[in-house]
Structure 1
Amino acid sequence: MKILIVENEIYLAQNISRKLMSLGHDCEILTDLKDILECKNVDTLLLSTNIFGDELYKIIENFKDSVIILLISYISNDTVSKPIQAGADDYIQKPFMIEELVRKIHHFEEFNRIKKLKKSYDEYIEFFFSLIDKENSNFYKINLPFFIKTNSQIFADKFAFDFFKFKNLEFEIILLDKPNSFSKIKSNNFKTPMYLINYQLLKNEEKTYLLTLINKKNIIISTTNLDEEIETKCVTVKSANFLDRILTVDEYFQHILINYQNSFSDTDLAKKLGISRKSLWEKRKKYGISKKK
């Protein structure tokens, strides 16, 4: 990380520089305004508010894409409030422990890494969902909680993501077939809404228990079983082209087994597939699909 130190207390500046360089950072100390404004590709700016007067805001504007931590002697509107309103990120009051400054730098380093990663994920999801026809839904009339019944998981996902985006809500995704899913739900205060996926994979007693956990909570649940009996508010989202290509026989059987084997008895499932129970067992073994017990 390239760190620019703008501090006229040279002993302090050198102390900071030595510590940060020992941690592998590239540091430069500058006090001339012209040199400071010409400095490029700075990741973090450590900026003293004791120098430059109103020129301070020119520096903040120049480094608006960098992390700016103010080095202040006392707290006031001029040293903290106004510079932060102008674009600075944080401050630390002198005298301070170098370790505390390092902690702040690393905090913002990690924060920016996560922010960039989230931006990449958001852009990918937007692109991915843009390939799917937009569902014409009036989200004004829909409130949490509710179920989504669908014949294509990706359509349910798009509907849920679009709903949360429309409502400007952060949310957590939980796959209900994962071992720790119920403990996560049980310990959640539901201040952050949840999107629960794979309801169709649960056994009947698990479904009953889940519904007691989430009663009237801020959740969306999706199921790919259109025949699922849902007593609560439900939205049906169907894909006109269930799958965008013709499945092989093996792919078809795998899809049915994964999505419906916990909703029907082996006898009923084999009957719907037009095969014997022995053939059903053989296909599970062939595809490596185990039935929940």
Structure 2
Amino acid sequence: MNILIIENEIYLAQKIVSRLLDDGHSCDYIESPNIDNLTKEYDIILLSTSLPSALCKSIIKRYKEISIIILLVSYISDETVTNPIKDGAKDYIMKPFIMDELVRKLYHYKECRSIKRELQTLRDYVKFVMSDIDTSDVLLPPSFPILIESNSQMCSDKLVFELSRKIDMPITFISLNSTTWQKQINAVQFKSIIYLTDFHTLKRNAKENLIKLIEDKDCIISSLETEVDFPHRKIEFNNNNQLITNTNIMTINDYVKLMVLSYQTKYPDTELSKKLGISRKSLWEKRKKLGIEKKK
């Protein structure tokens, strides 16, 4: 990590620098900084609150979005701890302190920041890949068990993600394609939404066993087919933008017709026939046979 130590007690600062260098970190040390000369970016800043409060406030304001700021304090007061933490510092450590305790704090907050960044990246990714799925007219109640019938697994996923955030419960993901799904369900010990996918792949007796198993559990089941005999609450939510549904196997002619209708305005016939793996003459014959009007 790249660490800046701002401390006017020279002996303490040298001791911190020595320990952090031994741990393989890069360190800069200054006694009383000029705020205008601070141009580098740091992972962590160790800031002594024995400096003037206005200077501490300026440093925190500049670095709070990009650095983890830990206060080095001689005594606890509003000026040395409460106000700086309100301004954006993460934590404090009282002088004198054991060096191992300081190092523990550094790694703790570094890990927290990494987890936070990863979580935000994953949230952004989920939002990005599901951006075309509109759930504004769909309400998934926090009543369990419940079955979601959909032509798109992603539609079900988005509903479950939204419910998880709404009721502040984690999700345990279990695929019913797994040969150990029963053991996985029984192994869930902490309170979470048990999200079971691929219900449509089970045989009738397996579905009946599953329904008995999850009667008293916080469980959501996802199926890509219509489930007539499911005894609990069901919600149907389909993706109208999905070109191919999951519930039926299309004939070759139906597939060609769908692809031509969907992409003939995007590609010229030469490229469209190449993508379909047929000749341009065959594409013309397909249009004639299937009654596909050519659009410009």
What TM-score do you get using the length of structure 1 for normalisation? 0.72
Q: Are the counterparts in 1 of residues 150 and 223 from structure 2 also a CA contact under 8 Å?
A: yes
Write the deviation string for residues 55-99 of structure 1: whole angstroms up to 9, x where unpaired.
Answer: 321211111121011112233333222221111111112222212
Question: Which segment is superposed worse, 48-57 or 29-38?
Answer: 29-38
- Is the Cα–Cα contact under 8 Å of residues 152 and 242 in structure 1 kept in the other structure? no
Partner in structure 2 of residue 143 of structure 1: 142
Q: Deviations over 1:113-160 (max 9, x none)?
A: 22222222221211111134x144243x72232221223212211232
The structure whose Rg is larger is: 2
Which residue of structure 1 lines up, in the alignment, with residue 230 of structure 2? 230
- For 1:171, give the aligned amino acid: P
- Paired position in structure 2 for 1:258: none
Contact 2:172 2:192 in 1 (8 A): no
SS of the residue aligned with 1:102? helix
Question: SS where residue 195 of structure 2 aligns?
Answer: strand
Matched, 1:123 2:109: no
* 3-state DSSP of counterpart to 2:34: helix
Letter in 2 for 1:8: N
Is residue 2:15 matched to residue 1:15?
A: yes
After TM superposition, the score normalised by the length of structure 2 is: 0.71
In the aligned structure 2, how far is the partner of 1:77 from the partner of 1:151? 58
> How far apart are the structure 1 equivalents of 2:161 and 2:4?
41
Residue in 2 that maps onto 1:175: 174
Shift of residue 41, structure 1, vs aligned partner: 0.7
- In 2, the alpha carbon distance for the partners of 1:20 and 1:179 equals 49
Q: Does 1:108 align with 2:138?
A: no
Tell me what 1:275 maps to: none
Moved more, 236-245 or 49-58: 236-245
Q: Distance in 2 between matches of 1:136 and 1:35?
A: 48
Shift of 1:211: 4.3
**Partners of 1:199 and 1:50 in 2: CA distance:** 63
Tell me the residue number matched to 1:94: 95
Question: Where does residue 152 of structure 1 map in the other structure?
Answer: 152
Question: Residue 247 and residue 131 in structure 1: after superposition, are their counterparts in 2 closer, same or farther (change >3 A)?
Answer: farther
Q: Report the secondary structure of 1:221's partner residue.
A: strand
2:47 match: 47
Q: How well do the aligned residues superpose, as a CA RMSD in angstroms? A: 3.0
**Is contact 2:7–2:32 with CA below 8 Å preserved after alignment?**
no
> Identical aligned pairs, as a percentage?
35
Kindly indicate whether the alpha-carbon contact (under 8 Å) linking 1:147 and 1:221 is maintained by their aligned counterparts in 2. yes
Query: Is 1:25 matched with 2:25?
Result: yes
Question: For residues 124 and 85 of structure 2, what CA distance do their matches in structure 1 show?
Answer: 29
Structure 1 residue 199 displacement after superposition: 3.0
Give the count of matched residue pairs. Answer: 247
What's the CA shift string for 1:7-66, capped at 9, x where partnerless? 111111111111111222110111223157624211100111122233321211111121
Distance 1:247 1:124, change over 3 A: farther
| Cα deviation code 1:232-264 (max 9, x no counterpart) | 111112244462799798xx9xxxxxxxxxxxx
Residue pair 1:46, 1:70 contacting (<8 A) in 2 also: yes
| Structure 1 counterpart SS, 2:79 | helix
Write the distance in 2 (CA, Å) between the matches of 1:181 and 1:31. Answer: 60
Query: Unaligned stretches of 5+ in structure 2?
Result: 256-296
Does the Cα contact within 8 Å between 1:2 and 1:25 map onto a contact in 2?
Answer: yes
Q: Describe the shift of the 1:242–1:55 C-alpha distance in structure 2 as closer, same or farther (beyond 3 A).
A: same
Following the alignment from structure 2 to structure 1, what is the Cα–Cα distance between the partners of residues 187 and 82? 38
- Residue 5 of structure 1 is matched in structure 2 by 5
